[in-house]
Amino acid sequence: MRKIAMAVSLSVFIAFLVATAFLIRPFGYPPSQMDDYIIENAQSETGTNNVVTAVVFDYRGFDTLGEATILFTAVAGVTMLFRRKRRE
Amino acid sequence: MMSKIVRTMSNILILFVFVYGLYIIMHGHLTPGGGFQGGAIVASGVALLLVAFGSHNLHKSLKERHLSILESGGGLIFIGLAFGGLATIFFYNFLVGSPIFGHIPPSGPNPGDIWTGGVIPFMNLAVGLKVLAGFSAILLVMALASSRKEVEE
Amino acid sequence: MTQGIPFNVPFLAVAALIGIAFYIILSQRNLIKLVMGLSILASGVNLFLVTLGYREGGVAPIYTHAPIERMVLPVPQALTLTSIVIAVATLALMLSLIIRIYRHTGSIDSEESRTMKG
Amino acid sequence: MDKLITHSPILIIAIPLLAAFLTLLIGRISEKARNVLVVVSLVFVEFLVIVLARDIYANGIHIYTLGASSPTLTIPEQYMVPVRIILQVDAMSIFMGIIAATVSLAAAIYSLSFMKEETGQDSFYTLLLLLVAGMLGMVFTGDLFNLFVFLEIAAISGAGLAAFRIRFADTAEGGFKYLVISSAAALVVLFSVGIFYAQYNLLNIAALAQVIQYTMLDKVALALLVIAFAMKLGSVPLHMWVPDTYAAAPASITAMLLVSSQICMYALFRTCFSLYGVTLNTATVGWIVIILGMLSMFVGATMAVLQTDVKRLIAYNCICESGYILLAVGVGLAVLGHPEALTTYGIAAMSGGIFHMINHALFEGLLFLAAGVLFYRAGTRNLNEMGGLAHNMKLTSILFLLGALASSGIPPFNGFASKLLIYESVYQFNPILAIIGIIVSIITLAVFVKAFFSAFTGQVLPKYKDVREAPKLMMLSMIILSIIIVFFGLFPGLIVDWLAHPAANALINQAEYINAVVGG
């Protein structure tokens, strides 16, 4: 029973994945309305030559804050899991 | 603890790893790299020490408590810089055009000027600090935990 | 679709990676292997994101000494960077939890280590 | 004050984050200062949420573009698509924000005394604040990738908190299950974000909603998103983690994890209504959501009968109650394409479902907190080992009964008001569904009557002779929740008109959501 459910869900998932791979636009020719703006204006707006850094820290800086928070969360979680049992 | 050759070599190598990591962090706004990548490189140096000297020996000089303070500090600097733009808006790059890191590079390909980027170099530094402390703390704590023999409970 | 299948080989690689990952997650009982499956899943999704940004003949989006002005898209690279760090953080916490489970039950098999009933 | 309202969406997310970074540092210096910091920051968040809610109900959607030169400059000048991350708070988001902020505040106050004996409290409060930030971020963001990031923050901190009491054997397992489910769900979400990005080169929800064409790829992405969020909210075919995790976590955290699952439900509704809207085949997707809801109701109620562990019992009841919400909103989704049916009963069903969301969070939160008191004082969660606890814990037993009656839909409590609204409107859609809903509600009542009698009434067992009433702070947070429950039960019309109905309208009115960002 469990095996059948697994096989069915797995095959449905793989069907989705393969469908995605075939239906998606050709590799190497992306639509780029949002990214073109960033490539053109990153230097004048943020003053950085590295456009990826401009995206990471300026255009999508909030994501980076979240990412740094996740790392912080993981550190807090790991140290919490291996804390000493009693306080000295 | 590994053999003497490994320990000596890692003592020498660690300097290069750290310097390279810091270079990657500080040049994040000009060349490939940035806070995350550089921080991960420095943390890999800590991993090297961990392998060479063993977690217990390393723990004598490097406490996870200090690392977590360093990490909180990095996080605070980062979120503080984001708050700094609050006069206009959160995450506003308020240093572009100002005397500190405020140069605006010429449009198009150019050789690069370190004095650009506004708050981005500071953010790189803060994130680099945070990532190196965070990864080192995770590595250290997990290495200590998996080598500790006695069961606590 | 117009360019035919060879152009989509990277996407097929993504599909293969994610499919393998789901097979591992659903079939394995060893918790470490389960975590490996999740890690492969994360790699597959990261590969997907980064392939989305490739532009034919483009260079890295960095203006310092850039040879030409045709650049690949920067946003997917930033997203991938974020998602890689997230994957590492999750991985660390999962492995720590497995160490905890092992200390309590002496096993990392998902059937044997089970302490509660459904 | 104007400035505060302008910046409040980001402050609501950033203040818990800032407090979380500070908690670890201040906790080393003084425990008292840390507790004060935690409570003050949460009270401030609650205050900001209420201020922002008043503004939104008066003036409509609130937009905040991060890093731009002005908060409402969503699209750069002379350009056509949004580039930056945009926080978009409408009536539905702020409704979820109110739930999250209120329950988190109650849970934090409760934890002050519940967790007093534990070690590592610095980490505990850090993770708690991060969980709050993650939940509020998920609710307020208008960006799909940002949604993923905050989903992960909530997941990781939630898993850490669920595994917090490391001296018990089951906690690590509960946390691990939660983390595996959450990160698998989050990665599936990320994959579908990638699909959207590949087609439209956009990440903003409103901008995507404007151009979405419902191609085959969009259907795949929708299926993946529905699976992922259903997995994360604990709907029935994928509910196995819910009782394990909820039972393992500390009581206050369980209440917050419940809100966190509700926020995944919100994300599901946001996807269906605001992102796809009428472009999707509403009847099919609506029926899928309805079936998920029916399964959850049925399985949750019947499994709850079998439980002897009080927290697992309440956890199964949570699955059951979330089924009601899915049912009601699914009905609204199914008739989204028919304006006539929508006005006669669709909006009413959705208001009922959304009203039930806040009720669900409040009374299940209260039940979990009361169960935590039982565990704290009696030292067990097994109902068969308890008995006669009402003699020494009068107030706790009354509060537990209040939560139980509200949950089983007995008048005059809030659960009755929302369930009645759901029955009435769903009956017009399909009578059988409403009848099943009533039957499930009766089963719920039976479950709680059994639980209440075995735990609280009867002879005082000798080992519980010296059991005392709950500590003051724990009592305070439970009383806060119960006052709101009674208030909502006495004035349901007021709450539906003020809170739930605008929220339902905000979900239905996709054009307004899109216009707020791309309308200029």
Per-domain residue ranges for chain B?
A: 4-147
**Would you state the pLDDT for residue A85?**
62
What is the interface size between C and D, counted as CB pairs within 8 Å? 79
Check CB contact of A40 with chain D, cutoff 8 Å: no
- How far apart (Å, rounded) are the C-alpha atoms in residues D470 and D397? 11
Q: Which of C45, C82, C97 sits opposite D179 (nearest CB)?
A: C97
Residue C17, exposed/middle/buried by CB under 10 A (0-12, 13-18, 19+)?
buried
Distance, in Å, from the CA atom of D129 to the CA atom of D262, rounded to the nearest integer, reads 18
Going from N- to C-terminal start, the domains of chain C cover: 5-55+71-105
D306: Cα within 13 Å, side-chain hemisphere = 8
A58 contact D CB<8A: yes
Question: What dihedral angle (degrees, nearest 10) is formed by the CA atoms of B65, B71, B77, B78?
Answer: -160
Contact A50 B138 (CB under 8 A): no
ipTM of the complex: 0.93
pLDDT band at C46 (very low <50, low <70, confident <90, very high): very high
Contacts of C among chains (3+ CB pairs under 8 A): A, B, D
Max Cα-Cα span within chain A: 62
Q: What CATH number is given for C5-55+71-105 in this structure?
A: 1.10.287.3510
The answer to whether A20 contacts D83, with C-beta atoms less than 8 Å apart, is no
For residue A86, is pLDDT > 60? Answer: no
Asked if residue D107 lies in contact with residue D51, where contact means CB atoms within 8 angstroms, the answer is: no
Chain-centroid distance of CA A67 in Å reads 9
Whole-number Å distance between alpha carbons of D191 and D197: 10
- Interface contact flag, D14 B79, Cβ < 8 Å: yes
What letter represents residue D472's amino acid?
K
Chain D residue with Cα closest to C94? D176
Closest residue on chain B to D11 (Cα): B90
Closest-CA distance, D424 to chain C, in angstroms, reads: 35
Measured between CB atoms, which of A28, A38, A73 is closest to C7? A28
Query: Is C1 a residue whose pLDDT tops 60?
Result: no
In total, the C-beta contacts within 8 angstroms joining chain A to chain B are 114
Residues 65-84 of A with CB under 8 A from D: 65-67, 69-70, 72-74, 76-77, 79-81, 83-84
* Euclidean distance between CA atoms D346 and D332, whole angstroms: 4
Q: What are the phi and psi torsion angles at D30 (to 5°)? A: -150, 135
Q: Give the domain extent around D400.
A: 2-518
- Look at B124 and A53 and tell me if their CB atoms are within 8 Å: yes
Q: Are D476 and D109 in contact (CB under 8 A)?
A: yes
Cβ distance of A34 and D202 shorter than 8 Å: yes
Contact across the interface for B102 and A47, Cβ inside 8 Å: yes
Task: Give the pLDDT score at C7.
Answer: 63
Q: Given an 8 Å threshold on Cβ–Cβ distance, is A87 in contact with D167?
A: no
Token digits of residue C105: 């039950």
User: Are the Cβ atoms of A45 and B153 closer than 8 angstroms?
Assistant: no
Tens of pLDDT, residue by residue, chain D (520 residues): 788 888 999 999 999 999 999 998 898 889 999 999 999 999 999 999 999 999 999 988 999 998 888 888 888 888 888 999 999 999 999 999 999 999 999 999 999 998 888 888 899 999 999 999 999 999 999 999 999 999 999 999 999 999 998 888 889 999 999 999 999 999 999 999 999 999 999 999 999 999 988 888 999 999 999 999 999 998 888 888 999 999 999 999 999 999 999 999 999 999 999 998 877 777 889 999 999 999 999 999 999 998 889 999 999 999 999 999 999 999 999 998 888 888 889 999 999 999 999 999 999 999 999 999 988 888 888 888 888 888 888 888 999 999 999 988 888 888 898 999 999 999 999 899 999 999 999 999 999 998 888 888 888 878 787 788 888 899 999 999 999 999 999 998 888 998 999 999 999 999 999 999 887 5
Tokens of D206: 């409103």
Rounded Cα distance, D289 and D268, in Å: 10
What residues of chain B lie within 8 A of the CB of D127, using their CB?
A: none
What are φ and ψ of residue C62, in 5° steps?
-130, 125
Do C1 and A26 count as a contact with CB atoms less than 8 A apart?
Answer: yes
Q: What residues contact D137, with CB distance under 8 A and at least 6 apart?
A: A66, D13, D146, D149, D150, D153
